Amino acid sequence: MHDLNYPDSFIRTILETTHTIALVGASVKPARASFRVMRFLLDKGYRVFPINPQYAGDTIHDLTVFASLFDIPEKIDMVDIFRRSNEAGAVIEEAISIGAKTVWTQLEVIDFKAAERAEKAGLQVIMDRCPAIEYPRLMGS
């Protein structure tokens, strides 16, 4: 079974080596965590691609929303998943298909079987964490 106790060095290395992030479950609603986390990641210098079929073609933080990971025109380092646990597996399969380096699921989003498939495919996996919490804790403000 997958261990959710990730060494700080593992998380820090991912945060340091990631440049492009697909944020799946991006919301146009400022009250939603995905909206705030996307702003945080942009402010830290990451290139973020919002993904949400419901808002495809709209903009969030002045960036065009894509319907799926397959629509992003460039290589993605990390897929950050804001979906329910029972929906995360399908997104993780897409992340494997597009050749992402890392899948990161947000707080309380856990799918051990999908995580195992991702790791077997060579992806790094972090589950049940938020980069907007881990970044200041490990990298400073």
Selection from 69, 106, 100 nearest residue 85 by Cα:
106
Q: How confident is the model at residue 2 (pLDDT cuts 50, 70, 90)?
A: low
Q: Which residue in the block uniquely carries the two structure tokens 């933080």?
A: 61
Domain limits for position 85: 8-139
Give the mean model confidence (pLDDT) for residues 111-125. 97
In a domain, 28, yes or no: yes
In a domain, 127, yes or no: yes
In a domain, 78, yes or no: yes
pTM for the predicted model, two decimal places:
0.96
- Whether residue 133 has pLDDT greater than 90: yes
- Whether residue 66 has pLDDT greater than 80: yes
In a domain, 3, yes or no: no
CA distances (Å), origin 92, targets 36, 53, 63, 83, 129: 22, 16, 23, 11, 15
Give the mean model confidence (pLDDT) for residues 36-54. 98
Give the mean model confidence (pLDDT) for residues 114-135. 97
In a domain, 103, yes or no: yes
In a domain, 1, yes or no: no
Distance CA 131, CA 135 (A): 6
Give the mean model confidence (pLDDT) for residues 43-65. 98
- Whether residue 1 has pLDDT greater than 90: no
CATH number at residue 17: 3.40.50.720
In a domain, 83, yes or no: yes
Q: Looking at the 3D structure of the chain, how many domains does it have?
A: 1
SS3 for 79?
strand
